[in-house]
Amino acid sequence: LESDLERLIEGLTLSYHRLTARADALHGPRGVTTGIRALILLLEQAGPLTMSEIAAARSVSRQFIQRLCQSLAAGGWIETRPNPRHRRSPLIALSEKGKAEAGRIRALEAPLLAQLAAEVPAQDLARAADVLARLAERLGAEA
Amino acid sequence: LESDLERLIEGLTLSYHRLTARADALHGPRGVTTGIRALILLLEQAGPLTMSEIAAARSVSRQFIQRLCQSLAAGGWIETRPNPRHRRSPLIALSEKGKAEAGRIRALEAPLLAQLAAEVPAQDLARAADVLARLAERLGAEA
């Protein structure tokens, strides 16, 4: 018999894949892949970051982020700025085009989010969000 | 202000990435990537499937599954069998090596699952699993 935790992991994996497929359908035509989308939204929320900070925030390798940043720079969505605290770790910041794209991403996703939020009672969503935050935290702490 | 649904999506995305990193650390040394791991466990649970059935179960493209099956065949984890129902869609099944690998994957992950399950009350896990199942279902239904 399958445990609740295994059901939870199955549900989050399937939700992740389907959310990714939805995002690809919405943003792929503009060349915005899942990775590009995530980085644009992260930089919008957090402001300029170094590559190491980006890699830590997403729990992915610095090599992966380096390749991703090359794609974003080629697309004109980001620009690098000198870092006053670390001369050898420049800051990655959204360009004007990147800021506009962040707004476009959110606007295109808003109807889907509204539709999904209407499907599940707000209290259940809040509790599930708490459980997932705790799960993510434990998975990060023991790594 | 961020909605509960957005917090939920953030939590599931981060959990997914961290679970993937954990699985890579546990199984990568044997050449078992995240995709290979997922397909071995699916075939163990569901029994032999066609490529179309695998693609539908995982919400990924048939092309992606085709490449993945090539890797699994090269590693000796799967074998193809004639399909009595569709001559042109052979069944993909675990080989003896694949069955042994499924057991090894579960054994190596059991301590992490036990540790995580001990961190969150069982009732909260069950409710969160229900919410994610509903979310995944809605995301699948509207695609």
Q: Does A76 touch chain B (CB under 8 A)?
A: no
Amino acid occupying residue B113: L
| Chain-chain contact of A18 with B143 (C-beta, under 8 angstroms) | yes
| Chain-chain contact of B126 with A4 (C-beta, under 8 angstroms) | yes
Task: Tell me what pLDDT residue A60 has.
Answer: 74
Report the residue from B60, B124, B131 with minimal CB separation from A17: B60
Q: How many helices (H) and strands (E) does chain B have?
A: 6, 2
Model pLDDT for residues B69-104, shown as the tens digit of each residue: 999 999 999 999 999 988 889 999 999 999 999 999
Task: Tell me what pLDDT residue A140 has.
Answer: 87
| Chain-chain contact of B16 with A11 (C-beta, under 8 angstroms) | no
Chain A residues in contact with B14 (beta carbon < 8 A):
59, 132, 136, 140
Chain B residues in contact with A117 (beta carbon < 8 A):
3-5
| Chain-chain contact of A143 with B6 (C-beta, under 8 angstroms) | no
Query: Binning pLDDT at 50, 70 and 90, where does residue A86 land?
Result: confident
Q: Does B93 touch chain A (CB under 8 A)?
A: no
Task: Tell me what pLDDT residue A61 has.
Answer: 79
Q: How far is CA B80 from the centre of its chain?
A: 20
Residues 19-48 of B with CB under 8 A from A: 19, 21-22, 38
Mean pLDDT of A115-143: 90
| Chain-chain contact of A133 with B11 (C-beta, under 8 angstroms) | yes
Task: Tell me what pLDDT residue A1 has.
Answer: 52
Report the residue from A4, A18, A129 with minimal CB separation from B125: A4
Instruction: Show Cβ contacts of residue A66 under 8 Å, excluding neighbours closer than 6 positions.
Output: A51
Q: Which residue of A has its CA nearest to B135?
A: A15
CA–CA distances in Å: residue B49 to residues A6, A7, B78, B79, B100: 22, 21, 11, 11, 18
Q: Does A6 touch chain B (CB under 8 A)?
A: yes
Helix (H) or strand (E) holding B133: helix B122-141
| Chain-chain contact of B18 with A59 (C-beta, under 8 angstroms) | yes
| Chain-chain contact of B125 with A15 (C-beta, under 8 angstroms) | no
CB atoms within 10 A of CB A21: 18
Threshold 0.95, pTM exceeds: no
Chain B residues in contact with A125 (beta carbon < 8 A):
4-5, 8, 131
Is residue A98 a contact partner of residue A65, using CB atoms and an 8 Å limit?
no
Task: Tell me what pLDDT residue A141 has.
Answer: 78
CA distance B44 to chain A (A): 14
Report the residue from A6, A16, A120 with minimal CB separation from B12: A16
Model pLDDT for residues A27-46, shown as the tens digit of each residue: 999 999 999 999 999 999 99
Model pLDDT for residues B31-64, shown as the tens digit of each residue: 999 999 999 999 999 999 999 999 888 767 788 8
Query: Binning pLDDT at 50, 70 and 90, where does residue B108 land?
Result: very high
Residue B142 has pLDDT above 80, yes or no: no
Mean pLDDT of A54-65: 83
Is residue B50 a contact partner of residue B86, using CB atoms and an 8 Å limit?
yes
Amino acid occupying residue B64: F
